[in-house]
């Protein structure tokens, strides 16, 4: 896709640009990235998506036609990342392996697709004198936190998954680039993000299982795992809101809701939304879905809310909305 239009807008923050903002979104063809791209285009930004299409989908951004630029490239290809960077005002870095479970079988994916990919983004920014980065981190950096709800100030941070290690490693690289090369950074520690265009995650998995067999639903673990959830458009809105309203050298925020939802409740909601009756919900047992899964997370989103942001959905509302939306997208027999 080629860029044909430039729209001039006033900016609410202190970026050193006079007119329209040039934004590079790594992973912009993915689930969360594509919703972010929708908001940035609506704001009038010049948007470039950089994505290798490993889990991204063209139909998630095709509706923008020639209003955006699409670079099909891999973040592990440093030359390709460097070529995409000049003239960028702000990088939203979302590309990564999204599958936490993969780390139990393949041990170098998160290191490469997470940590090394982030290094390549930062090094390309340094070479092109690009100063602003917003990063999609995760609540998994907290590991099994002893303080709940968990605030951004919680520590020490001891992640228990390889994915979590790659997020914490990326955060550390970013703050080191802030300290050494004068970048400004936003670190967003996401709750579990759910919503339209979802291509992975617990609700997506449950719907596919029920599609294959509407009589039974297997749930990994004992169903008591309990986490914070946030609806994907709320997540994208929060990212845009915070990059507009905060301006420290490092701006670190939990992106989530005030409540949690258990896997047991999610299973019930998904079954209700399918309309299937007499479904047997069966639990595999154990306190976590897989090795490295954090059984209970509850983020403290007060800092986000204090910036004047209100999500449209709480955790349970986000799950019900997502279940009905994904059932439509996936289709049931
Ligand atoms: P996603 O898989 O839909 O999006 C990731 C995108 O990055 C995809 O379009 C994929 O093709 C692209 N990509 C992956 N590796 C790449 C590479 N080497 N080079 C270029 N492009 C590459 O996943 P998502 O759920 O939208 O996640 C986006 C970000 O948010 C990720 O960094 C993820 O770790 C983080 N995150 C997601 C959640 C969640 O609940 N979905 C929670 C916490 C953090």
56 lines ligand 1 (CB under 6 A): yes
280 lines ligand 1 (CB under 6 A): no
* Residue with CA closest to ligand 1 atom 23: 98
Rounded to the nearest whole angstrom, what is the distance from the C-alpha of residue 216 to the centroid of ligand 1?
30
The length of the chain is 333
Query: What's the pLDDT at 289?
Result: 82
If one counts every other C-beta atom within 10 angstroms of the C-beta of residue 308, the result is: 8
Q: Which residues pair with 218 in a beta bridge?
A: 282
Rounded to the nearest whole angstrom, what is the distance from the C-alpha of residue 30 to the centroid of ligand 1?
6
CATH number of the domain located at residue range(s) 195-228+260-293+313-330 in this protein: 3.90.25.10
Does residue 119 carry a catalytic annotation? Answer: no
User: Which residue among the candidates 154, 163, 229, 313 is catalytic per the annotation?
Assistant: 163
| C-alpha to C-alpha distance for 215 and 203, rounded to whole angstroms | 17
Rounded to the nearest whole angstrom, what is the distance from the C-alpha of residue 279 to the centroid of ligand 1?
32
- Locate CATH 3.40.50.720 in the chain: 2-14+21-193+229-255
Query: What's the pLDDT at 5?
Result: 32
Query: What's the pLDDT at 290?
Result: 86
| Cβ-based burial of 36 (10 A; exposed 0-12, middle 13-18, buried ≥19) | buried
* Residue with CA closest to ligand 1 atom 35: 136
- Locate CATH 3.90.25.10 in the chain: 195-228+260-293+313-330
Q: What is the DSSP string of 188-225?
A: EEE-EEE-TT--SSHHHHHHHHHHH-TTEEEESS-S--
Q: What is the pLDDT of residues 56-95, one digit of tens each?
A: 999 999 999 999 999 999 999 999 999 999 999 999 999 9
pTM of the full predicted structure?
0.94
Ligand 1, from 32, 169, 195: best to mutate by most atoms within 8 Å of Cβ?
Answer: 32
Residue of 151, 90, 131, 116 whose CA lies nearest to 297: 151
Give the residue carrying structure tokens 């520590």.
Answer: 155
Please state which CATH class domain 2-14+21-193+229-255 belongs to: alpha beta
Query: What's the pLDDT at 12?
Result: 46
Alpha helix positions (H), the chain: 31-43, 78-84, 109-110, 117-128, 162-181, 202-212, 232-245, 263-274, 302-306, 315-330
Query: What's the pLDDT at 176?
Result: 98
- Give the position, in ligand 1's atom list, of the atom nearest the Cα of 113: 18
What lies within 8 Å, CB to CB, of 213 at 6+ separation is none
* Residue with CA closest to ligand 1 atom 1: 30
98 lines ligand 1 (CB under 6 A): yes
What does the pLDDT profile of the chain (333 residues) look like in tens digits? 433 333 333 344 555 344 589 999 999 999 999 999 999 999 999 999 999 999 999 999 999 999 999 999 999 999 999 999 999 999 999 999 988 899 999 999 999 999 999 999 999 999 999 999 999 999 999 999 999 999 999 999 999 999 999 999 999 999 999 999 999 999 999 999 999 999 999 999 999 999 999 999 999 999 999 999 999 999 999 999 999 999 999 999 999 999 999 999 999 999 999 999 999 999 999 988 888 899 999 999 999 999 999 999 999 999 999 999 999 999 998
* Residue with CA closest to ligand 1 atom 39: 193
Judging by DSSP bridges, how do beta strands 22-26 and 46-51 pair with one another? parallel
If one counts every other C-beta atom within 10 angstroms of the C-beta of residue 165, the result is: 21
């Amino acid at each position: 896709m080629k860029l044909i239009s430039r729209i001039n807008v006033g900016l609410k923050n202190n970026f050193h640009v006079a007119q329209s903002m040039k934004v590079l979104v790594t992973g912009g063809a993915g689930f969360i990235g594509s919703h972010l791209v929708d908001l940035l285009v609506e704001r009038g930004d010049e948007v470039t998506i950089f994505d290798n299409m490993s889990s991204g989908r063209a139909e998630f951004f095709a509706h923008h036609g020639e209003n955006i630029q699409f670079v099909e490239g891999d973040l592990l290809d440093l030359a390709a990342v460097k070529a995409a960077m000049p003239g960028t005002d702000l990088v939203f870095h979302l590309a990564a392996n999204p599958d936490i479970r993969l780390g139990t079988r393949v041990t170098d994916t998160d290191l490469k697709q997470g940590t090394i990919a982030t290094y390549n983004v930062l090094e390309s920014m340094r070479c092109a004198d690009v100063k602003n980065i917003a990063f999609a981190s995760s609540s998994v950096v907290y590991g099994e936190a002893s303080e709940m709800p968990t605030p951004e100030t919680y520590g020490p941070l001891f992640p228990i998954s390889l994915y979590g290690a790659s997020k914490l490693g990326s955060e550390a690289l970013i703050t080191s680039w802030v300290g050494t090369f004068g970048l400004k950074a936003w670190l967003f520690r996401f709750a579990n993000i759910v919503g339209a265009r979802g291509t992975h995650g617990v609700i997506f998995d449950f719907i596919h299982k029920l599609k294959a067999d509407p009589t039974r639903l297997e749930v990994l673990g004992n169903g008591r795992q309990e986490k914070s959830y946030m609806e994907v458009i709320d997540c994208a809105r929060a990212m845009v809101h915070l990059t507009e309203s905060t301006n420290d050298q490092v701006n670190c925020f939990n992106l989530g809701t005030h409540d949690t939802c258990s896997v047991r409740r999610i299973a019930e909601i998904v079954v209700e939304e399918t309309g299937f009756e007499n479904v047997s919900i069966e639990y595999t047992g154990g306190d976590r879905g897989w090795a490295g899964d954090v059984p209970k997370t509850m983020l403290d989103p007060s800092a986000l809310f204090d910036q004047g942001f209100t999500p449209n959905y709480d955790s349970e509302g986000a799950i019900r909305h997502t279940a009905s939306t994904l059932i439509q997208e996936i289709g049931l027999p």
